[in-house]
Structure formats: structure tokens, C-alpha cells
Amino acid sequence: MTLWPLLPESAREHYRRGRPDHAELDAELRAVFGRLPDEPLPDLGKLPRELFEYESPPGTYFDAFPLLLLTSATLARLARAAPASRVDVRRFRPNFVIETQPGLEGYVESAWAGRKLRIAGVDVDGTLACPRCVMVTHAFADLPRDTALLRCIVRDADQNVGLYARPRGAGRIAVGDEVTLVD
């Protein structure tokens, strides 16, 4: 691994994907997404096409979209669905954790794909539910390796935890600011 400063979008070779670890595409995708042979692969048709050639959209170091939103309802649902796992927000690396209203249950942000949200005064486009990969299983800090959590996500959450999003503009957002669905 090497550390690099953010390079411009024109530095395409820097962002280009390395050689796959597996000759077969199915095997490569199953390794990246941590899927077992009997589990479905996520629908990759909604991801930006450039992600098939580049590790991240050139000029950025984010996975697919600028923001990842996650709700407390989703974390609570996962904790109930995978009681043997430590469901910890750090496994999911969101930009924002949205505290949902009491009584709101399930993987609620997945239903926000295609909708607009307002966080404080910033409009945000909910782009698509985030298909989770093997990264949520890795051990780090005080969290143990946990492949059972991904099995639960594939089975119980239709493979998705969180919502990819794009801001429509700039603005100041602070902890505790209200989040509303606009449309």
C-alpha cells in the first residue's frame, strides 16, 4: 500500500484498477463482495460505469459516490437479525448516521434511493442502496473478523446497508441537524 495526495481526474493511470486476483469474473466478484457460491451477487448495473475500470471515480478516493448515509433504524435491525455479531457503525464507514424517529424500523434508507433529502440546508440526492462487500467482515481495532454479519446482510437486507448519495450543493452541517425527505 502507498499513500498518495488527491490527484486530479486527468491522472487516470493512478485511479485505474489493478489486475484481478481471479481469472474468472464470477470468482473475482465473489471475492470482492465476499459472496458464497449459493449467494447472489449484487446488481452492479446501477453503479457508475467508471468503477469497472477505476478503483474510485477519477479525482476522488470514495467508493462510488461522495456520501454514504446510514440510519440508527438499520443498525438496530441488523443487531436484531445478527445477535451473535457486533454491529458497530465503524464497520460501515458512513459519512452520516441519521437518528431515526422512534417506531421507524428496518433498512429504511434503502427506500430513499431516487429521493431527495435535506440535511440542515443542504439538498442531497439519494442515489442507490449500498451493496455491501467483504470489508464489513474485516477485523480492526477491537472488532473481530465476522463473516456471519455479511451472511446476515445478504440474507436479511437484500445485500444492502446504507444509502449512497450526492450533495446538490455546499453548506454547513452539524451534529444534531434535522434530516428530512423532500420528495
The topology under which CATH files domain 12-181 is M1 Pyruvate Kinase; Domain 3 (2.40.33)
CA 157 to chain centroid, in Å, comes to 13
Domain ranges of the chain: 12-181
Interhelix angle 147-156/72-81, rounded to 10 degrees, is: 110
- What b/e string do you get for 122-160 counting C-beta neighbours within 10 Å, with b at 16 or more? bebbbbbbbbbbeebbeeeeebeebeebbbbbbebbebb
pTM of the model: 0.92
Q: How confident is the model at residue 2 (pLDDT cuts 50, 70, 90)?
A: confident
For the segment 110-131, what is each residue's pLDDT rounded down to a tens digit?
Answer: 999 999 999 999 999 999 999 9
Q: In the structure grid, which three cell numbers stand for residue 5, read together?
A: 495526495
